[in-house]
């Protein structure tokens, strides 16, 4: 039987980054992954600069395109704003290559990868026994980087307290003339779908086009219909090939702790994607690194590690996400009011979001006063 200090379930950016961080400390670590790597992952593949610069090694071999400017359109208005920077605001990746690159870096440092091993059950104790489709693995600590559905969180007893939103993404090949026209810019189209946005992310030879609903609402949304309408907005009339992938993104953190039974939740399993744009890769990487650091600094003491992880989250990503949850509700639910502000301050909004993407700032702590001030200035 395989026995390790730490077992990480899932080889996405969260799990793979945790593994890389642990691998530097000499703590014995295994990644348990149900798929065979490299594996496809439903994702727009927009890696914002704050996520890219958090990784402790160069990922340019997995980058298909880099964009130094970003366009945001507001549907049914004439508003379009563009922000430009000297750094690549968004790098385009395909997740099979990107996630696998991080796993390979961890493997180079001695991490064991058990792929094609689906975690089916866990017997919890001082030493945890992880029952996989290919046999048992023992570990003192479990880090759950098993994504939005997080079967491991369910096994450990977590209830569902995250806000989970649906998103639909297509990998699309279009005729050469359309590709040339659309591959020059990365664009977000707010309100191309109610309570959400659509995106067009150009990759090396194709476009990743998607729609997502970003706040909980009562309407049942036909995502396919909005995707079809968005193609018209983009001026796409002919499609050479199209691969549809639907999935969910948790856009608010769990409210009932991030550690139980010596299981540490990271990335989507914890609900750490950005609530306004559902950009999940950056905080997946950050939380993976923080969980690993907590275990390392605790010298493998479970209580100390759990306390350290909570402290580190509160000092870093949690305050920003909590603000983001409230700003997202205003942004998507109060469309008319938001558009009044955007008409006047659209450029400032786009620049501020770009600075968040670059990791140069977070959302304002005094967001309520800030929104009130902008409303007053825009109306009077």
Ligand X SMILES: Cc1cc2nc3c(=O)[nH]c(=O)nc-3n(C[C@H](O)[C@H](O)[C@H](O)COP(=O)(O)OP(=O)(O)OC[C@H]3O[C@@H](n4cnc5c(N)ncnc54)[C@H](O)[C@@H]3O)c2cc1C
> Where on the chain is the footprint of ligand X (CB under 6 A)?
9-15, 32-35, 41-46, 118-119, 145-147, 151, 167, 169, 210, 247, 249, 267-268, 273, 278-281, 284
Which of 333-342's residues contact partners 24+ apart within 8 Å by CB, and which partners? 333/195, 333/215, 333/217, 335/191, 337/375, 339/74, 339/77, 339/79, 340/375, 340/378, 340/379, 341/371, 341/374, 341/375, 341/378, 342/74, 342/77, 342/79
* Least CB distance to ligand X at residue 100 (A): 10
In the DSSP assignment, the letter for residue 62 is G
Distance from C-alpha of 102 to C-alpha of 121, rounded to nearest angstrom: 26
Q: Which of 33, 80, 38, 86 is nearest to 62 (CA)?
A: 38
Burial of 345 (0-12, 13-18, 19+ CB in 10 A): middle
In angstroms, what is the minimal distance from the CB of 48 to ligand X?
6
The burial class, CB within 10 Å (0-12 / 13-18 / 19+), for 266 is: buried
> Which lies closer to ligand X via its Cβ, residue 248 or residue 337?
248
- CB 379 to ligand X: min, Å: 34
- Kindly tell me which of 34 and 335 has the beta carbon lying closer to ligand X: 34
Taking the least distance from each CB to ligand X, the nearer of 92 and 371 is 92
Nearer to ligand X, 210 or 275 (CB): 210
Which two tokens mark 167? 């998103």
Residue 320 tokens read as 């920003």
Q: Cis link prior to 38 (omega < 30° from 0)?
A: yes
To the nearest whole angstrom, how small is the minimum distance from the Cβ of residue 31 to ligand X?
9
Nearest-approach distance from CB 17 to ligand X, in angstroms: 8
d(C-alpha 3, C-alpha 127), whole Å = 9
Closer residue to ligand X (CB): 280 or 374: 280
Q: Of the two residues 349 and 357, which places its CB atom closer to ligand X in the complex? A: 357
Q: How far is the CB of 233 from ligand X (least distance, A)?
A: 18
Considering the complex, what minimum distance in angstroms separates the CB of residue 271 from ligand X?
Answer: 10
């Amino acid at each position: 039987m395989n026995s390790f200090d730490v077992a990480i379930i899932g080889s996405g950016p969260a799990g793979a980054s945790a593994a890389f961080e642990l691998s530097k400390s000499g703590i014995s670590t295994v990644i348990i992954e149900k798929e065979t790597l490299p594996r496809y992952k439903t994702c727009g593949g927009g890696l914002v600069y704050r996520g890219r610069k958090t990784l402790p090694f160069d990922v340019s071999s997995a980058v298909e395109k880099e964009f130094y400017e970003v366009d945001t359109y507001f549907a049914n208005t004439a508003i379009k704003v563009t922000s430009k920077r000297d750094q690549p605001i968004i790098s385009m990746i395909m997740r099979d290559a990107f996630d696998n690159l991080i796993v390979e870096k961890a493997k180079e440092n001695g991490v064991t990868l058990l792929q094609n091993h689906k975690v089916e059950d866990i017997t919890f104790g001082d030493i945890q026994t992880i029952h996989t489709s290919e046999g048992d693995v023992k570990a003192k600590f479990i880090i759950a980087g098993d994504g939005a559905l997080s079967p491991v969180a369910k096994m450990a007893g977590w209830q569902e307290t995250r806000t989970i939103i649906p998103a639909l993404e297509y990998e699309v090949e279009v005729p050469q003339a359309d590709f040339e026209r659309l591959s020059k810019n990365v664009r977000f189209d707010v309100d191309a779908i109610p309570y959400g946005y659509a995106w067009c992310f150009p990759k090396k030879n194709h476009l990743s086009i998607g729609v997502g609903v970003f706040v909980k609402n009562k309407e049942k949304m036909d995502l396919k219909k909005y995707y079809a309408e968005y193609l018209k907005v983009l001026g796409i009339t002919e499609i050479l090939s199209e691969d549809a992938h639907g999935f969910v993104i948790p856009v608010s953190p769990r409210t009932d702790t991030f550690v139980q039974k010596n299981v540490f939740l990271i990335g989507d399993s914890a609900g750490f994607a950005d609530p306004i744009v559902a950009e999940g890769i950056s905080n997946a990487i950050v939380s993976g690194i923080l969980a690993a650091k907590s275990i390392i600094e605790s010298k493998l003491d479970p209580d100390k590690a759990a306390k350290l992880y909570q402290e580190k989250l509160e000092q870093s990503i949690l305050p920003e996400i909590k603000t983001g949850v409230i700003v997202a509700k205003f942004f998507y639910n109060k469309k008319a009011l938001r558009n009044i502000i955007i008409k006047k301050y659209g450029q400032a909004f786009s620049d501020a979001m770009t600075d968040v993407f670059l990791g140069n700032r977070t959302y304002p702590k005094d967001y309520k006063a800030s929104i009130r001030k902008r409303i007053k200035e825009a109306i009077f």
